[in-house]
């Protein structure tokens, strides 16, 4: 699975500390098609935070989970790691040291 996130303004300066991120995340699935992950996230689950430069890694040792690591809007460290539990489609936000 490939995960992609972006910016709200593709013409902006990508080295800027004020680059605005988007809250949409798309995935290229093993069936060979792109789809948005947001409609699949469970009702009541925490919302996806705005991000730029999204990357992801599968966490096979902890079950079917996908860790989404990125810079959030405004370069805040808060919420910079979001974990999507693929079998339940919900987001969690691990804290440093936790």
Span 5-60, pLDDT tens digits: 566 666 766 666 666 666 666 766 667 777 776 666 667 766 666 666 566 666 66
| pTM over the 0.85 mark | no
The whole-angstrom distance between residue 22's C-alpha and the CA centroid of its chain comes to: 10
Which H or E run includes 54?
strand 51-59
CB 27 within 8 A of CB 35: yes
CB 38 within 8 A of CB 24: yes
CB 49 within 8 A of CB 68: no
Span 8-21, pLDDT tens digits: 666 766 666 666 66
CB 52 within 8 A of CB 73: yes
Question: Cα(97)–Cα(21) distance, rounded to whole angstroms?
Answer: 26
């Amino acid at each position: 699975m490939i995960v992609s996130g972006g910016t709200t303004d593709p013409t902006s300066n990508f080295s800027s500390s004020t680059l605005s991120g988007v809250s949409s995340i798309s995935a290229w699935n093993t069936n060979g098609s792109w789809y948005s992950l947001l409609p699949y996230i469970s009702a009541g689950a925490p919302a996806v935070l705005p991000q730029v430069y999204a990357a992801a890694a599968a966490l096979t040792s902890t079950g079917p989970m996908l860790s989404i690591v990125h810079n959030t809007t405004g370069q805040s460290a808060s919420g910079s790691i979001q974990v999507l539990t693929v079998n339940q489609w919900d987001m969690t936000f691990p804290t440093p040291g936790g």
